[in-house]
Amino acid sequence: MEKFSIDFWNFILQHGNDDAGRLRLKYAGNEKISWAIDQIEARKKIDRKLPLFSENGRLLFPSVLSAEQASSEDTALYKQQILSGRFDTICDLTGGLGIDSYYMARIASQLTYIERFSHYCDIAQHNFKELRQNNIHVLNGDCRDFLNSSHERCDLYYIDPARRGSGNKRLYNLSDCEPSVLEILPIVLAEKASLLLKASPMLDIKQTINDLGKVSEIHILSVKNECKELLFLVEPNHAGDPRIYCSNKTLDNKWQTYTFFLAEESLLPSSPVCTLQEYLYEPNSSILKAGAFKSIAQSFGIDKLAVSSHLYTSRKYVSDFPGRAFEILEAYPFSKQVLKKCSRKYPQANVSTRNFPLTPDEIRRLGGIKDGGDIYLFATMVNSEKTMIYCRKK
């Protein structure tokens, strides 16, 4: 069975729904079939993350790991959108599976894909050909060697450094990632080019701004309220505070974006701590990561319940709030007795805690509450008192 033979494709088609582990046992020692099993296993891992691959059976994965680590199409399309019309030539310094390269190439006149593993380059070349994206030049090598040698300047360099060290340990500091962004950045800026860094959502934003300098934009990307990645755009002529874009793709597949400046956030007075009103608001994960706690209150005319709880309330409903909004049904001071009494009325609820000594699981156990349903129970602090808030999603 050759890699791209009819037998290879037929094996994937015939066994696409089979268990990859059992297939490996059955065909142990057969390297050619093992390569086909890699494709089957990788496709199972992408789930809905990569519709491009799901819809095109001729696209390949260089490894199972590449499927796990690949950018989602949601975030790749977001990058395409924010870069469109701004950069004519782009270089992806850490090509990988090539999802980001493919989507960026669609809004560039020319894109250079660089990858140090030759096998990944071969697969990327195959996939770009299958997708008929003909403006991508695939280069096998180390991006540092490329930058330090004679090369054609690009308008934008994109880098997604490896964030795992020895023993597959996750790395969160910029200085620990490979290749070193801090070594590459001066070379890029010397060319009067821009750099777009994709980073872990665990990275400290303020520290990264200080490390990079000249950061013009920060994009915090969440999909269905799960923070996926941070993007830092560094531009050679930028001076001043970066604009922060808190973007979340909602359950109805629409991007919801809130923007602010960190400098303005620091100058705002603290949102007044107040009593519960008619509605309760919980900012999405991108806003929470950004720390836009005072900005969000001022922008939408809402009040904070407590300094550390990051829940807000208002008398009038704010329909365009970037996060979850709830109509408050009832609220009670917290005690085990009151919780058990309320649980008779609300035997099922989605329990959350904010700035509260108990976990959601502990509250569910204490009250004998079944998880789920359309009632939401927030256990939090209101006016320094432990409080239970029962509400329904708007």
Q: What is the reported pLDDT for 45?
A: 87
CA distances 303 to 202, 246, 314, Å, are 28, 20, 6
Closest CA to 241 of 268, 220, 260, 219: 260
Class of 268-393 per CATH?
alpha beta
The answer to whether 203 and 174 have CB atoms below 8 angstroms apart is: yes
Which regions of the chain carry the CATH code 3.40.50.150?
71-263
Q: Which residue type does 381 have?
A: M
Q: CB-hemisphere CA count at 13 Å for 199?
A: 28
Which regions of the chain carry the CATH code 3.30.2130?
268-393
Tell me which of 1.10.1040.10, 3.40.50.720, 3.40.50.10860, 3.40.50.150 is the CATH number of domain 71-263: 3.40.50.150
- One pLDDT digit (tens) per residue for the chain, 394 residues: 456 788 888 899 889 889 998 999 998 878 888 989 999 999 988 878 899 988 898 999 999 999 988 889 999 999 999 999 999 999 999 999 999 999 999 999 999 999 999 999 999 999 999 999 999 999 999 999 999 999 999 999 999 998 655 555 565 678 778 899 999 999 999 999 999 999 999 999 999 999 999 999 999 999 999 999 999 999 999 999 999 999 999 988 999 999 999 999 999 987 767 789 999 999 999 999 999 999 999 999 999 988 888 999 999 999 999 999 999 999 999 999 999 999 999 999 999 999 999 999 999 999 999 999 999 999 999 888 999 999 999 9
User: pTM above 0.95?
Assistant: no
Q: What is the reported pLDDT for 3?
A: 64
Q: What is the reported pLDDT for 98?
A: 96
Give the C-alpha separation, 154 to 152, whole Å: 7
Q: What is the reported pLDDT for 1?
A: 45
Give the C-alpha separation, 141 to 164, whole Å: 20
